[in-house]
């Protein structure tokens, strides 16, 4: 999504990115970024919490209208919860047993197989249509 922000901006469309992966967005480099320090999947606010969702969009709009230059990141003051223990768990190999890793290896092989099949099917459909 960061690439889209950059492309639109290069072509005269101002943008704001709403996201939860600070390092990934900032490494790419975007004009304006509202960072919510929440688990991935909640860039627009907390689930079943309309107040947090409206606040988050409004903050993104404020970033859109007030940023003075590129790489403007604003971090939302909202917190997911008090202990923030969710931050320790995501894809953290230091927290996983060998048995868990083996299960994940097998699951990942399956995901790759499905994705490759999908791509092939999508490719075939495209060439048939052309």
The CB-based long-range contact list for 63-66 (8 Å cut-off, 24+ gap) reads: 63/16, 63/32, 63/33, 63/34, 64/14, 64/15, 64/16, 64/32
Name residues contacting other proteins, limited to 20-79 (CB under 8 A): 20-25, 27-31, 35, 37, 39-48, 50, 53-54, 56-58, 60-61, 64-65, 67, 69-71
CB of 105 to other proteins, least distance (A): 5
Task: Choose between 28 and 74: whose C-beta lies nearer to other proteins.
Answer: 28
How many residues lie near other proteins (CB under 8 A)? 80
Chain centroid offset of residue 61 CA:
18
Q: What are phi and psi of 32, to 5 degrees?
A: -140, 135
Task: Choose between 50 and 77: whose C-beta lies nearer to other proteins.
Answer: 50
Of 78, 96, 127, 128, the residue at the interface with other proteins (CB under 8 A) is: 96
């Amino acid at each position: 999504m960061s690439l889209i922000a950059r492309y639109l901006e290069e072509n005269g469309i101002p943008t704001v990115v709403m996201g939860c992966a600070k390092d990934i967005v900032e490494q790419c480099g975007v004009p304006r970024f509202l960072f919510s320090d929440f688990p991935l999947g909640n860039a627009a606010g907390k689930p079943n919490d309309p107040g947090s969702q409206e606040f988050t969009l409004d903050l993104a709009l404020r970033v859109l209208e007030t940023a003075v230059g590129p790489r403007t990141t604003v971090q939302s003051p909202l917190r997911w919860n008090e202990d923030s223990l969710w931050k320790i768990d995501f894809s953290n190999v230091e927290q996983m047993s060998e048995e868990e890793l083996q299960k994940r290896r097998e699951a990942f092989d399956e995901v790759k197989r499905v994705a490759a099949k999908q791509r092939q099917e999508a490719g075939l459909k495209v060439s048939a249509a052309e």
